[in-house]
Amino acid sequence: MGTMSLSDFKEVRIPAPWGHISGRWYGNRKERPILAIHGWLDNLGTFDRLIPLLPDYIGVLCIDLPGHGRSARIQPGMHYAVNDYVLIIPRVMKEYGWSKVSLMGHSLGGIISFIYTSLAPHTVDMVISLDILLPWTPSPKTVIKTLAHSLEKHLVEEDRQEEGNLHEPPSYTLAQLNEVLAKGSYNSVTPEFAQHLLHRQVSKSQLYPDRFFFSRDGRVKYYSLTQMELGFSEALAKRIRRKPYLIIKGSRSNFVGVRTEKAVAILRHNNPHFEFYEVDGGTHHVHLHAAEECARYIVPFIRHHRPPALTSWSLSGKEQHLSAEEKRRQQERFFKRSTHAKSKL
């Protein structure tokens, strides 16, 4: 067994009524992978630095959400919303015939994972949440102001897209794109790591040969937030019960803080499979600029809750037989997990 290679992947294209969902399936493609979902305005490139640190025996399917990366946009006149994004998970499961799903999400992807797991906990076997748990819950005054702003900007963006054949979006040099992306993420994605996101969300300008523009759907900037009162979020958290749940927080990020304490306490209560870690100095994109530190917690979590089969899979395509002692330990672990699962029924 080893770790995954960022160059060993299969491009996937999952049909959808509005077009398709694009993705890359890294590592083992013979068994059910972890489904990885990126954050708002990002794409599957957000996992570029984490993928090579994960065990290759399980595989990771990274997808671009609709309107992001290379996935299709929804139809003109429609609006992006978090609750609609949640439906992406069962759509992917149906495509591959999965009855269970393992989830890894950052930011918006983590919110989507939380909501889906709370609604269909019987279909989820583990969740890895990167610097997020619940959606932002602003004051009513801020909510109204945000909705009014988004409504106006969404209509402006629709008009701009209707004229898209006549006018290109603003274009930039590659160096400028790095700075624009860093500024837009409040420097959570520094220029040093911007390339991991840019390679799937820019197109070459037809007017200026040395310039590029953002190719994602501009409407995603004004998507509908899920307003989640604390009582509601706590009720959702209670439905997750004893599911394996790992949260990694960046110490310099406030996305996991006071307002999530009760929900975290509920996930932690009487749950030996709940884990929470804080990465020192980490920002919101903690998995991108502190990938090694995140992997220290993610890899053991994966190995414990999605252990390798009695024979492991390697990138060379050859199966390596485990030693007798290793097989014995794996069988004991499987027996304990099975017994524990039966005791909860």
Q: Do 290 and 281 meet the contact criterion of CB atoms below 8 Å apart? A: yes
Per the residue annotation, which of 71, 102, 107, 188 is the catalytic one?
107
Could you tell me whether strands 245-250 and 311-312 are parallel, antiparallel, or unpaired per DSSP bridges?
unpaired
SS3 21: strand
Q: Could you confirm whether 107 is annotated as catalytic?
A: yes
Orientation of helix 108-119 relative to helix 230-240, angle to 10°: 60
| C-alpha of 158 from chain center | 27
- The beta strands (E) that lie in the chain are given as 9-16, 19-26, 34-37, 60-63, 101-106, 124-130, 202-204, 212-214, 245-250, 274-279, 311-312, 320-321
**Quick one: tokens of 128?**
């890895």
CA distance 212 to 334: 51
Buried b (16+ CB within 10 A) or exposed e, 6-33: eeebeebebebeeeebbbbbbbbeeebb
Q: How many CB atoms lie within 10 A of CB 122?
A: 8
Q: Which residues are catalytic?
A: 107
